[in-house]
């Protein structure tokens, strides 16, 4: 009965929250001004003061205990509150237990056993970055820097007010701004697009930085703040996923994938990975 494992204390990722005291509340809130979905701070504030309902966990523990025929052992590496609540009169704490077998194994010969399961493999969801293996020592500028640049690009595309830009971000933002004004003029621009690609029993999810819809083609642009191109091969996987998603939406248009290196202002075409090769990466 380890801490956070039983009883479970991990948060729920459902969009809706129900509690008898506070009713039904939405965890997310759409802001029409910024055209973005934010966490609902009111729901977070109210739910933070609610007591955890552990009745169901207590019932499960009771059922497990009552199934024992003669004795029962509770173990914990980091004791949870259930473990701490056990009465000292009803149990003993055993330390330095050595588990041994009465019959010693003298034959160390390994035997391979094939187990055929009738259980079908479950569907799974993974992020596009789960397919990518970044090289150590890459000359990057950190996640915070990348997030700020992506946010500035989003505000530029959506014509939102940009009050002030710190000096360290100006070069990258000016390169993005010039690229949008000169290279994407006349295109319909869609920024920060959620997408999903089903492959077999796996659903791969990601966010496309920018989709530029021209009359004769579609361009997928991904902003990269890297100072070097060490991870270009990994970025190919990411752009390839986006390609196959949009190919289903625009089957009659040519689709081109590009990486825009914000530090140098260089736009680079990306060669798409075959779908069967992506399937091998998943497996």
- pLDDT tens-digit map of 65-75: 788 777 777 77
Is a pLDDT exceeding 80 seen at residue 124? yes
Q: Are residues 144 and 241 in the same domain?
A: yes
Which own/partner contact pairs does 26-29 have at CB distance under 8 Å and 24+ positions apart?
A: none
The residues near 195 (Cβ < 8 Å, ≥ 6 apart) are 205, 206, 207, 208, 241, 242, 245, 246
pLDDT band at 55 (very low <50, low <70, confident <90, very high): low
Q: Are residues 80 and 191 in the same domain?
A: no
Q: Quick one: tokens of 185? A: 């003029």
**Residue 235: inside a domain, yes or no?**
yes
Closest CA to 278 of 251, 242, 246: 242
Q: Are residues 38 and 139 in the same domain?
A: no
pLDDT tens-digit profile of 90-110? 555 555 555 555 555 455 556
**Residue 33: inside a domain, yes or no?**
yes
For every residue of the chain, DSSP letters joined together read -BTTTTTT-PPP--SEEEETTTEEEESEEEETTTTEEEE-HHHHHHHHTSPP--HHHHHHHHHHHHT-SS------SSB-HHHHHS-TTS-----S-----SSPP-------------SPPPPEEEEGGGG--PPTT-----HHHHHHHHHHHHHHHTT-------HHHHHHHHHHHHHHHHHSTTSEEEEEEEEEEEETTEEEEEEEEEEEE-SSEEEEEEEE--SS-TTHHHHHHHHHHHHHHHHHH-TTSEEEEEEEETTTTEEEE-PPPPHHHHHHHH-
Closest CA to 270 of 237, 236, 242: 236
Q: Are residues 48 and 136 in the same domain?
A: no
Domain range for 193 is 124-282
pLDDT tens-digit profile of 144-158? 999 999 999 999 999
Strands 23-26 and 202-213: unpaired
Q: Token pair 């902003």 is at which residue?
A: 223
**Residue 97: inside a domain, yes or no?**
no
**Residue 195: inside a domain, yes or no?**
yes
Closest CA to 54 of 20, 82, 21: 82
Cβ atoms 185, 212 nearer than 8 A: no
Is a pLDDT exceeding 80 seen at residue 201? yes
Q: Are residues 137 and 252 in the same domain?
A: yes
Q: Among residues 85, 111, 146, which one ends one of the domains?
A: 85
Q: Are residues 136 and 255 in the same domain?
A: yes
Q: Are residues 79 and 133 in the same domain?
A: no
**Residue 227: inside a domain, yes or no?**
yes
Query: In this structure, what CATH number is given to the domain that contains residue 182?
Result: 3.90.320.10
Is a pLDDT exceeding 80 seen at residue 216? yes
Q: Are residues 162 and 254 in the same domain?
A: yes
Is a pLDDT exceeding 60 seen at residue 199? yes
Q: Are residues 142 and 56 in the same domain?
A: no
CA distance 1 to 76: 5
Q: Quick one: tokens of 27? A: 């965890």
pTM: 0.58
pLDDT band at 177 (very low <50, low <70, confident <90, very high): very high
Q: Are residues 63 and 191 in the same domain?
A: no
Number of structural domains in the chain: 2
Mean pLDDT lowest among 122-136, 182-196, 246-260: 122-136
Tell me what the pLDDT averaged over the chain comes to.
81
């Amino acid at each position: 009965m380890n801490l956070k494992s039983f009883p479970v204390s991990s948060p729920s990722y459902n969009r809706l929250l129900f509690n008898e005291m506070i009713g039904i509340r939405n965890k997310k809130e759409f802001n029409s001004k910024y055209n973005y979905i934010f966490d609902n701070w009111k729901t977070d504030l109210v739910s933070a003061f609610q007591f955890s309902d552990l009745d169901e966990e207590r019932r499960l523990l009771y059922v497990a205990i009552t199934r024992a025929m003669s004795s029962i052992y509770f173990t914990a590496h980091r004791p949870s509150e259930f473990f701490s609540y056990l009465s000292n009169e009803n149990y003993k704490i055993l330390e330095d237990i050595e588990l041994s077998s009465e019959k010693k194994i003298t034959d160390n010969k390994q035997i391979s056993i094939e187990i055929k399961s009738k259980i079908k493999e479950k569907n799974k969801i993974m992020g596009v970055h789960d397919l990518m293996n970044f090289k150590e020592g890459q000359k990057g500028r950190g996640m915070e820097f990348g997030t700020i640049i992506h946010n500035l690009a989003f505000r530029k595309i959506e014509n939102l007010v940009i009050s002030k830009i710190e000096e360290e971000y100006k070069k990258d933002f000016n390169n993005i701004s010039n690229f949008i004004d000169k290279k994407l003029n006349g295109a319909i621009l869609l920024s920060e697009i959620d997408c999903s690609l089903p492959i077999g029993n796996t659903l791969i999810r990601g966010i496309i930085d920018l989709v530029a819809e021209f009359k004769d083609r579609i361009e997928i642009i991904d902003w990269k703040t890297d100072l070097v191109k060490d991870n270009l091969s990994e970025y190919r996987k990411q752009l390839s996923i986006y390609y196959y998603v949009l190919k289903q939406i625009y089957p009659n248009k040519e689709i081109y994938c590009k990486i825009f290196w914000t530090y140098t202002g260089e736009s680079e075409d990306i060669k798409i990975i075959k779908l069967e090769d992506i399937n091998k990466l998943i497996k």
